[in-house]
Amino acid sequence: MSLSFTVKREKLKTEETIELTGSKSESNRALVLAALSDGKVNIKNLSSAADTVTLDNIINQQIKNNNAVVNVGPAGTAMRFLTAYLSLRGKKVEITGTERMKQRPIGILVDALRSLGADISYKEVDGFPPVLVDGAFQQKSKHIAIRGDISSQFLTALLLIGSSLPEGLDLEIVDELTSRPYVEMTLSMLHQCGIQYSWNNEIISIAPQKFEETTLTIEPDWSAASYWYSVAALSDESIIHLPNLKKNSLQGDSAIADIMSLFGVNTFYNEDGITIEKVTSEIKPQLLDFKKCPDLAQTVVVVAAALGKEFSFTGLETLKIKETDRIFALQTELAKIGVTLIETQDGVYQLNCNDLHFPKQVNFATYEDHRMAMAFAPLAIVIDEVLVEEAMVVEKSYPHFWEDFKKIGFEIK
C-alpha cells in the first residue's frame, strides 16, 4: 500500500469506453446469500474488488476449512456481514482485522445479534473488533429495534440472515433511515432469491423460509462510475461510455447521474449501458444531501472545490467512521489547493473557495482510504502534477482504476 503514483495529464482523449468491475455492494450481499442458500444461489460478474475477494475467500475457503481465526483486513462490509453470518453456522470463530478496523464500532450490531440469541463476545475492547463468535445460536426473540441513522451495513447484516433464523425476523427501524437505497438493495436481492418480506411503516418482517434456485447477475459499480463523472466535469469536453450500467439500478450511488447534471455532465442511457458527456460549464451552487449515497460525497466535494463552486453539503454523518475520518481527510487535503470545508451548522458543511489555487505539484494523502485516492486523482486535469500517496489502496473497490486512468490519456509514473 506504500506505493505512490505521480499522475500527469498528457493529451486526454475526448472519448473513451471504460469497463467497470461488478458492484462491491451487490457482490458482498450475493456472497452471503449464496452461502446461506446451500448452493441454490449462483453469482455472475462478481466484483474483483479486494473487499469482495477477501469475503469470498473467507466464506468459501477459510470457514469451510474450520479456521479458528479469520482476518478481514480493512474490509468493513466483511466484518459486519460475517459477524451475523457466522453467528448461525455452529462454529467458534474469531473475526479480526487491521488496526483501523479495530477502531470501527460494531457494538450496535453485536447487541442486536445477542438480543436475537447469538453468542458473541469481544476479545479486546467492548464495542469494537475483534469479536469472538460462538455459532451455537438459540433464538430468544425475533424483534429488534435499531436506529435508522447508523451504517446500513448493520441493518443489511441482520436482514441477510432473517429468513435463516428459526423464528424469522421483525426489524424495527427507529427514527429516520439515512441509507435507504442500501436497505432496498438488500431486500431486492433477497426477493430475487425467493425470500419474501413485508415492510409496513417502520418494521421489516421476514419469515423463516428456504431460498429458491436463482442466479444473481451483478451490475457494474456506480460508485466506480462516479470518478469518470468527475473526469468529465473537470474536462473542457469529454464523452465516456460505461457499458452495462442500468437506469433502474439497485445501487443508491446511481444518484451520481442526477448530481453531476448540476455540474454540466449529462447521462444518456441505452441498451448497452450509459454515455456521459460534458455539455455545459454553467454551474449553480446549492445544498446537496448525501444521506442516501454517502460514498459519493468525496467525489462531488472535490469536484465542486476544484471548480471553485461553493456548494454546501449535508448527510455526511457516517463519513467519520468509514475507512478514515473522511471529513477530516477532505478538509486536510482540500487545504492544499486553498479550499476550506467548514461545518456552518449542525450537519451542514460549506465550501469556501476564495483562496482556490492550483500549485504546479501537489501531494495528496489517502489515509488508507480508496475513495480518497480516486476522488483526488482527477485533479491532475487542473494541476500539472499530482502525487497520490499509497496509490494501490484503490484495490479495495476498483483494482484496475489506474490502468483505466492511463487508458483515457493520463501519464502515471
Q: Which residues are catalytic?
A: 295
- Work out the number of other CB atoms within 10 angstroms of the CB of residue 289: 15
- Work out the number of other CB atoms within 10 angstroms of the CB of residue 411: 14
Type of residue found at 250:
L
DSSP secondary structure letters along 146-191? EETTS-HHHHHHHHHHGGGSTT-EEEEEES--TTHHHHHHHHHHHH
Taking the C-alpha atoms of residue 182 and residue 377, their distance in angstroms, rounded to an integer, is 27
User: Which of 197, 210, 133 has its CA nearest to residue 171?
Assistant: 197
Q: Are 220 and 44 in contact (CB under 8 A)?
A: no
* Rounded (10°) angle between helices 76-86 and 107-116: 10
Type of residue found at 88:
L
Phi and psi angles of residue 177, each rounded to the nearest 5 degrees, phi first = -85, 115
Q: Are 50 and 223 in contact (CB under 8 A)?
A: no
Taking the C-alpha atoms of residue 323 and residue 377, their distance in angstroms, rounded to an integer, is 18
User: Which of 196, 190, 194 has its CA nearest to residue 155?
Assistant: 190
Q: Return the bridge partners of 119, or none.
A: 134
* Rounded (10°) angle between helices 326-334 and 297-306: 20
Taking the C-alpha atoms of residue 149 and residue 396, their distance in angstroms, rounded to an integer, is 25
